[in-house]
Each structure stands twice: as C-alpha cells, then as structure tokens.
Amino acid sequence: MRVAHNACMDTQTTTRPSRRKFHPAAYAMHRQMLAVRRTMAAATVEESQAAARWAQAWYQLVQRKLEQLQHAPRWLH
C-alpha cells in the first residue's frame, strides 16, 4: 500500500520545531532593540513616534524584569 506524499502519519512532523525559550528580561531587551531600530528607520515622524513609544514601554519592562531577577533567590539565576 502506498501512502500519499502529503499524508501525515506522524503528528510530530506537522508541528514546527520548538524555539529556544529566552529569559523574559532577555526577550524584552531584544524587543526593545527592535523597537529602537524601527524608530531610527521610520519613514515618517508619526511612525518614529509610535516606535519610540514601544521602545520606551519595552525599556520599562526590561527594567522591571531585571529588578525582579535581582530580588530572586540566588539558585534561580
């Protein structure tokens, strides 16, 4: 019996490989960096202002996550 090429016999092959989970502070810092890049590359003033607001929001989240990490038990670092 021949199985069609697009028939999925294994559910594992239909899911995307899982991405590495980043620490929340590292993820927020990465998103902040992307927002800063969007701010600098914006074509209009409005786009730049919106991206700058996102960069500021991500910055605040980075600071909050780093503060939480600083107060976390040592074994969690």
**pLDDT by residue for the chain (77 residues), tens digit each?**
555 555 544 445 555 556 778 888 899 999 999 999 999 999 999 999 999 999 999 999 999 999 998 888 876 55
The tally of domains found in the chain comes to: 1
Q: Is residue 14 part of a domain?
A: no
Q: Is residue 9 part of a domain?
A: no
Which residues make Cβ contacts (< 8 Å) with residue 62, sequence separation at least 6?
25, 28, 29, 32
The confidence score (pLDDT) of residue 73 equals 82
Q: Is residue 55 part of a domain?
A: yes
Q: Is residue 42 part of a domain?
A: yes
Domain residues for 49? Answer: 21-76
Q: Is residue 64 part of a domain?
A: yes
Q: Is residue 15 part of a domain?
A: no
The confidence score (pLDDT) of residue 21 equals 84
The confidence score (pLDDT) of residue 77 equals 55
